[in-house]
Amino acid sequence: MPMIRVEMFPGRTPDQKRDFAKAVTESFVSICGGTPQSVQIVFQDVDRGDWATAGKLASDAAPAPAASPAAKSA
């Protein structure tokens, strides 16, 4: 406990997943209690052709700059 699932577009690097997993685990332990060992995180990449918002596949939409890693520097 807890089990955390993260569904997102593909494209995050192993480094990003590694850093995010570390940050989430630390936040859970410091805010909600428990041990780091109890925190399980599963990432699942979802292709843009498999994700629809407002009835529209993300693969059909104009590229969403906010959802790309490049947005970090924006």
Question: Residue 8's closest CA among 65, 52, 64, 46?
Answer: 46
The least distance separating a second copy from the CB of residue 29, rounded to whole angstroms, comes to: 8
69 is catalytic: no
The catalytic position among 2, 36, 63, 69 is 2
Residue 58 and residue 32: Cα distance in Å, rounded? 34
Contact call for residue 26 and a second copy (CB under 8 A)? yes
Contact set for a second copy, span 30-59 (CB under 8 A): 30-46, 49-59
The DSSP annotation for 5-28 comes to EEEE-S---HHHHHHHHHHHHHHH
State the residues that interact with a second copy by CB under 8 A: 1-9, 12, 14, 16-46, 49-60, 66-72
The residues carrying an active-site annotation are: 2
